[in-house]
Amino acid sequence: MKVLVLSDIADISASGRQRLWAIEQNAEVVHVLAKHQFVPWLPVISSRVAKLMRKPMWVRNHRRLGNELIRACDELQPDIIWLEWPREISRETMHRIRQASPNAYLISFQDDNPWGDRISDRWQWKAYFQVVPLFDMHLVKRPCDILNLSELGAKNCREWLHGIFPPLFFPPEAGHERIYPMTFVGTCMDQRATFIGRLLDAGLPVHVFGSHWAKRSTLPRRFPDNFHPAVKGEAYADVLRKSQISLGLVSESNCDEWTMRTYEVPACGSMFLAQRTPTHERWYSEGTEAEFFTTASECIQQATLLLKEPDRCHAIAKAGLEKCQQLGTLSDRVAELFTHLRQSRNR
């Protein structure tokens, strides 16, 4: 199987890098086009102008990107064309792709929520909405995404579940020191500053790693020893391995029920203390494989008790790791998808 991938892989922690690895485990030939290679001249100014003019394709050099896609189609003649967050792909480019690779299966992957509460970001999806009907399949994160895409003319949607990325997320060796009693890794957004502030005011030793905390809250000034720069890649995974308890906060503005941390925290052997969502409750057994909370008060109560019982934390973390491993890896997800595609074509 030959696969052509367009993805954002500039950041070492980019989820696109992980999916690319999984695709490479399941395809004989993989050709990747990295989105950061198509950033226009003066990218900061271009991004600002694109936002001001509500022109999402101006964020990239979409004409050069389109031409490179067509050239790759001509040379590779892929079986699958996998386009991630195709917000800069025009209808013209989609038609040219069809002409260059008429037998290829066109897949759109995006796990954001264009219909969520991030009103200021909705302009970015303007071009994407126009090409929705032209894909053979949409891989999305939520059942509600399937309904919304169907209204735009999507022919085939499939809910995408993440999975462990084994090269990076694995449990610590025996005797590995747990430096942090409790951690949260994430950006300051939604109502997270208020939530983390409640925990710190209650005296919980939560250490926060992430961006925009000093810009969007006063917490780093009030609790300087508890805030650290953002961590990526191996440094991020190592923070999880060094944590007794790791918080799992979902993106409320994205209407999420799970995040990549839903897999990453248990995979690194840290105890998963997460927001209560239907998906979290479906995947992990409460009290034995993870613990859940609905409010900050409930989280404070849970964490206070757990930190006094390190053996219980260890037991829950161990069971959570085993369940996470049962849920499978990213390679498993891609293998399942490719098997489904092969069977569909053979019918």
What is 278-293 written as a DSSP string?
A: HHHHHHS-BTTTBEEE
pLDDT at 60: 65
pLDDT at 174: 81
The pLDDT tens digits of the residues spanning 8-48 come to 988 777 899 999 999 999 999 999 999 888 776 556 555 67
Per DSSP, 329 falls in state B
Alpha carbon distance 33, 94 (integer Å): 16
The pLDDT tens digits of the residues spanning 93-108 come to 999 999 999 999 999 9
Q: Enter the pTM of the model.
A: 0.90
State which fold the 2-163+329-346 domain adopts. Rossmann fold (3.40.50)
Residue 50's pLDDT band (cuts 50, 70, 90): low
Take residue 130 and report the two structure tokens written for it: 């126009």
Q: Which amino acid is at 216?
A: R
The pLDDT tens digits of the residues spanning 223-272 come to 999 999 999 999 999 999 999 999 999 998 888 999 999 999 999 999 99
Q: Range with the lowest mean pLDDT among 13-22, 52-61, 104-113?
A: 52-61
Which SS3 state, helix, strand or coil, does residue 30 take?
Answer: strand
pLDDT at 347: 62
Residue 201 vs residue 60, higher pLDDT: 201
The side-by-side arrangement of strands in the sheet containing 227-228 is: 227-228, 206-209, 180-185, 243-248, 271-275, 291-293
User: What residues contact 225, with CB distance under 8 A and at least 6 apart?
Assistant: none
Alpha carbon distance 175, 319 (integer Å): 18
pLDDT at 43: 60
Q: Is 329's pLDDT higher than 60?
A: yes
The side-by-side arrangement of strands in the sheet containing 29-34 is: 29-34, 2-7, 80-84, 105-109, 137-140, 157-159
Length of the chain: 347
Domain 180-327 listed as CATH 3.40.50.2000: yes
Tokens 């189609």, residue? 73
**Where, residue-wise, is CATH 3.40.50.2000 in the chain?**
2-163+329-346, 180-327
Tokens 């169907």, residue? 150
Residue 88's pLDDT band (cuts 50, 70, 90): confident
Residue 342 vs residue 31, higher pLDDT: 31
Alpha carbon distance 97, 346 (integer Å): 23
Helix 310-327 × helix 296-307 angle, to 10°: 110
pLDDT at 58: 58
pLDDT > 90 in the chain, percent? 78
pLDDT at 233: 93
Q: Which amino acid is at 227?
A: F
Whose CA is closest to 299, among 182, 180, 179, 178?
182
Per-residue pLDDT, averaged over 206-213, amounts to: 98
First-to-last alpha carbon distance for the chain, in angstroms, is 18
pLDDT at 38: 77
Residue 86's pLDDT band (cuts 50, 70, 90): very high
Residue 217's pLDDT band (cuts 50, 70, 90): very high
pLDDT at 61: 65
